[in-house]
Every structure is written in C-alpha cells, then in structure tokens.
Amino acid sequence: MKQQSISLYFISIFFISIPLFSQEVKKDTVIIKDIYGLRIGVDISNPIKTLFNSDRKAYEIVADYRLNKKLYAAAEIGYLDNLRAEDNFEFTTKGQYIRLGVNYNTYKNWLNMDNEIYIGTRYGFSTFSQTLENYTITSDITLPEIANTNAQKFTGLNANWVEFIIGIKVEVYANIFLGFSLSTRKMISTKEPKNFKNLYVPGFDRVFLNDSSFGFNYTISYRLPLYKKESKKIPTKKED
C-alpha cells in the first residue's frame, strides 16, 4: 500500500507539472505615436533686452508645424523700434520682419519624450525706416565740431537675407516648451537711403562690415496637439 501511495503521488505531480512546462510565450507590441500640431510662442529675450535698454522696443512671435518625424516648418514674425548711438551720430530703426524656413531634429527621443536638438535655415525679409536723429561733423582738430540736430527720416527701405540656426527645445510640461537658439546671418540685398548705410535691420540686427550678423533667442511656446501618427512598434514578451 505504501508503495502504491508513493506511485500515485509522483503521477499526480507529473500531471500537475504539465501545464507549467507547456506555457506559451506570446509576443506583444507597444505602439509609440508622435504628436503632430501647431506650436506657437514668443521670444522672451526681447523684453529682457528692453529692461536693460529703454531705447529698444521689440516683440517676436515664433511658430512651427511638424511635417514628419524629424522635419518642422518654422517661422518668426516681429517688430522693432530701436535707437542706437554711434560715435558721431544717433539713428532710429523702426519696422517689421518675417523669417521662414525649416528645422531638422537630430535628437533621438526616448519613449514618450518630445525634445529637439535641431539645425535649421531661414529666409528673412524686412521693411523698415531709418531716422538720422543727429550727427556731428569733425573736419579738422583745429576747427570746431559741427552738430546737426535736425532729424532726417528715410522710408521705404527693405532687406532680405539667409540664416543658419542651431537650437534646442525641451518639453518642460505637457505641450509646453522652452527653447534657445543661435543663428548666423548673411545679407542678400538691401535698399539703403542715399548717403546713409543701413547699420541696423529689424530681424537681422546689427549689420557688420561683411554684411553678416549673429542672433539668439529664448522662447516659450505651446503646442496645439492636432493628431497623432504611429512612429514605431516596440516588441515585448508576455507570458500566459
């Protein structure tokens, strides 16, 4: 009887163990979706500059729209009213501008991340006026300086240029982004007043001797999530 009981015990263990060893490993997938939408924001560096220079008033609206996983259409629209003082004269530049182009995101995000390290290019165009507020003429050290305080305004001016950008955007909260970018600019053409060079152009900033310039901005923006598109599938293992 004892031997029979032992045999029945092992037979029971055998049949109980069969389901455990016959478990099937099934594959499952996690689908990652990218958010597509219009992102709109402002350049917060302009009000910061105004705090340190009351003669400068400016604003800039920034926007981009995702075209595919890596590529974004981008634009900046702004206005500038700026008084500058040089060695022998002061002038005011006033006008508006637009920059249009694309950004390419080089950063590979982890799951559910949506940050950017991007490179980009822009075409810029500006219409503006220049006002020569005053100037001083010095012909010889033995002669007195001649000062002219009669303002001269030049209207109907314009400029266009290209620029290259590198920047970052970080999602700090759902659909809210902080960004920073640096750009180098090269003038294509500009309409200048007679006997006066455009030393400052809205959207282009200070014009150096080789018709180039540099710029930067800090932005805060909000994305309007319009739809989602499948980005990739990540296989996982699920045991039954």
pLDDT tens profile 49-76: 888 888 999 999 999 999 999 999 999 9
* DSSP summary character for residue 229: E
Q: Which of 162, 163, 171, 165 is nearest to 39 (CA)?
A: 171
Give the strand pairing for 116-137 and 71-85.
Answer: unpaired
**Residue that wins the pLDDT comparison between 237 and 173:** 173
Residue 37: per-residue pLDDT: 94
Cα 2 from Cα 82, distance rounded (Å): 104
Cβ contact 60:43 at 8 Å: yes
Domains and their CATH numbers in the chain = 26-239 (2.40.160.20)
Cα 90 from Cα 80, distance rounded (Å): 16
**What is the model's pTM?**
0.80
Q: 102: which 2 tokens? A: 């694309």
Question: In 3-state terms, what secondary structure has residue 89?
Answer: strand
Total number of residues shown for the chain: 240
